[in-house]
Amino acid sequence: MARKVIVLGEIRDKALRNVSFEAIAAAKVLANGGEVVGILIGEKAANLASDMIAYGADRVVVAENEKFNHYTPDGYAQALMAVIEEEKPEGIVFGHTSLGKDLSPKIAAKLNAGLVSDVTAIEADGDNITFIRPIYSGKAFEKRVVTEGIMLVTVRPNNIAPLEKNEERTGKVASISVEIKDLRTIVKDVVRKAAEGVDLSEAKVIIAGGRGVKSAEGFKPLQELAEVLGGAVGASRGACDAGYCDYSMQIGQTGKVVTPDLYIACGISGAIQHLAGMSNSKVIVAINKDPEANIFKVADYGIVGDLFDVVPMLTEEFKKLKVLSF
Amino acid sequence: MNICVLIKRTFDTEEKIILTDGIIQEEGAEFIINPYDEYAIEEAIQIRDEQGGEVTAVMAGNEDGEKELRTALAMGADKAVLINLEEDVEDGDQWTTAKVLSTYLEGKNYDLILAGNVAIDGGSGQVGPRVAELLGIPYVTAITKLEIDGRKVKIERDVEGDVEVIEASLPLLVTAQQGLNEPRYPSLPGIMKAKRKPLEQLELDDLDLEEDDVEPKTKVLEIFLPPKKEAGKILKGELEDQAKELVSLLRSEANII
Contact B57, B72 (CB under 8 A): yes
Nearest to B247 among A189, A195, A317 (CB): A317
Question: What chain B residue is nearest to A201 in terms of C-alpha separation?
Answer: B160
Q: Which residues of B touch A136 (CB under 8 A)?
A: 11, 17, 24, 120-121, 123
Largest CA distance in chain A: 61
| Complete edge-to-edge strand list for the sheet that includes strand B218-224 | A121-125, A128-135, A140-146, B218-224
pLDDT tens-digit profile of B30-53? 999 999 999 999 999 999 999 999
Contact A291 B234 (CB under 8 A): yes
Contact A136 B120 (CB under 8 A): yes
Chain A neighbours among B 202-231 (CB < 8 Å)? 215-226, 229, 231
Evaluated on CA atoms A132, A135, A141, A147, the torsion sign reads: negative
What pLDDT, on the 0 to 100 scale, is given for residue A325? 62
Question: What chain B residue is nearest to A187 in terms of C-alpha separation?
Answer: B166
Percentage above 90 pLDDT, chain B: 86
Return the half-sphere exposure (C-beta side, CA atoms, 13 A cut-off) of residue B233. Answer: 12
Contact B83, B104 (CB under 8 A): yes
Chain A neighbours among B 135-194 (CB < 8 Å)? 138-142, 158-169, 178-179
Chain A neighbours among B 1-20 (CB < 8 Å)? 11, 13-14, 16-17, 19
What pLDDT, on the 0 to 100 scale, is given for residue A323? 59
pLDDT by residue for chain A (326 residues), tens digit each?
A: 899 999 999 998 889 999 999 999 999 999 999 999 999 998 778 889 999 999 999 999 999 888 888 999 999 999 999 999 999 999 999 999 999 999 999 999 999 999 999 999 999 998 899 999 999 988 899 999 999 999 999 999 999 999 999 999 999 999 998 888 889 999 999 998 766 657 788 899 999 999 999 999 999 999 999 999 989 999 999 999 999 998 888 999 888 889 999 999 999 999 988 998 998 899 999 999 999 999 999 999 999 999 999 999 999 999 988 656 66
Contact B98 A109 (CB under 8 A): yes
- Residues whose CB falls within 8 Å of the CB of residue B206, separated by 6 or more in sequence, listed in order: none
Give the CA radius of gyration of chain B. 22
Query: Which of B36, B91, B124, B182 would you mutate first to test chain A, the one with the most A CBs within 10 A?
Result: B124
Contact B120 A137 (CB under 8 A): yes
Nearest to A191 among B163, B231, B232 (CB): B163
Q: Average pLDDT, stretch B104-126?
A: 96
Domains and CATH numbers, chain B: 1-211 (3.40.50.620)
Nearest to B234 among A283, A296, A324 (CB): A296
Q: Residue count of chain A, please give it.
A: 326
Query: Which of A72, A104, A135, A153 would you mutate first to test chain B, the one with the most B CBs within 10 A?
Result: A135
Contact A101 B19 (CB under 8 A): no
Tell me the C-alpha distance between B124 and B236, whole Å: 42
Tell me the C-alpha distance between B198 and B194, whole Å: 8
Q: Which residues of A88-103 are buried (b: 16+ CB within 10 A; e: fewer)?
A: ebbbbbbbbbbbbbbb
Q: Which residues of A267-297 are buried (b: 16+ CB within 10 A; e: fewer)?
A: bbbbbbbbbbbbbbbbbbbbbbeeeebbbbe
Q: Which residues of B touch A293 (CB under 8 A)?
A: none
pLDDT at B257 > cutoff 80: no
Q: Average pLDDT, stretch B62-76?
A: 97
Tell me the C-alpha distance between B23 and B20, whole Å: 5
Q: Which residues of B touch A300 (CB under 8 A)?
A: 229, 232-233, 254
Tell me the C-alpha distance between B117 and B109, whole Å: 22
CA distance to A123, A262, B87, B235, B240, per residue, from B245 (Å): 38, 16, 59, 8, 9
Q: Is A78 on the interface with B (CB under 8 A)?
A: no
Chain A neighbours among B 114-133 (CB < 8 Å)? 118, 120-130, 132-133
pLDDT at B150 > cutoff 70: yes
Average pLDDT over chain B, rounded to whole?
A: 94
Largest CA distance in chain B: 71
Contact A174, A144 (CB under 8 A): no
Q: Is A160 on the interface with B (CB under 8 A)?
A: no
Tell me the C-alpha distance between A147 and B117, whole Å: 26
Tell me the C-alpha distance between B17 and B26, whole Å: 9
| HEC readout, chain A | CCCCEEEEECEECCEECHHHHHHHHHHHHHHCCCCEEEEEEECCCHHHHHHHHHCCCCEEEEEECHHHHCCCHHHHHHHHHHHHHHHCCCEEEEECCHHHHHHHHHHHHHCCCCEEEEECEEEEECCEEEEEEEEHHHCEEEEEEECCCCEEEEECCCCCCCCCCCCCCCCCEEEECCCCCCCCCEEEEEECCCCCCCCHHHCCEEEEECHHHCCCHHHHHHHHHHHHHCCEEEECHHHHHCCCCCHHHEECCCCECCCCCEEEEECCCCCHHHHHHHCCCCEEEEEECCCCCHHHHCCCEEEECCHHHHHHHHHHHHHHCCCCCC
What pLDDT, on the 0 to 100 scale, is given for residue A202? 84
Nearest CA of chain A to the CA of B200: how many Å?
27
Tell me the C-alpha distance between B51 and B48, whole Å: 5
pLDDT at B164 > cutoff 90: yes
Tell me the C-alpha distance between A188 and A209, whole Å: 33
Q: Is A141 on the interface with B (CB under 8 A)?
A: yes
Tell me the one-letter amino acid at B3: I
Q: Is A41 on the interface with B (CB under 8 A)?
A: no
Chain A neighbours among B 37-76 (CB < 8 Å)? none
Tell me the C-alpha distance between A298 and A201, whole Å: 20
Contact B221 A143 (CB under 8 A): yes
Provide DSSP, chain B: -EEEEE--EEE-TTPPP-EETTEE--TT--EEE-HHHHHHHHHHHHHHHHH--EEEEEEEE-GGGHHHHHHHHHHT-SEEEEEE-TTT-SS--HHHHHHHHHHHHTTS--SEEEEES--TTT----HHHHHHHHHT--EEEEEEEEEEETTEEEEEEEETTEEEEEEEESSEEEEE-TTS--PPPPPHHHHHHHTTS-EEEE-GGGGT--GGGG--SEEEEEEEPPPPPPP-EEP-S-HHHHHHHHHHHHHHTS---
pLDDT tens-digit profile of B182-215? 999 999 999 999 999 999 999 999 999 999 999 9
pLDDT at B165 > cutoff 70: yes
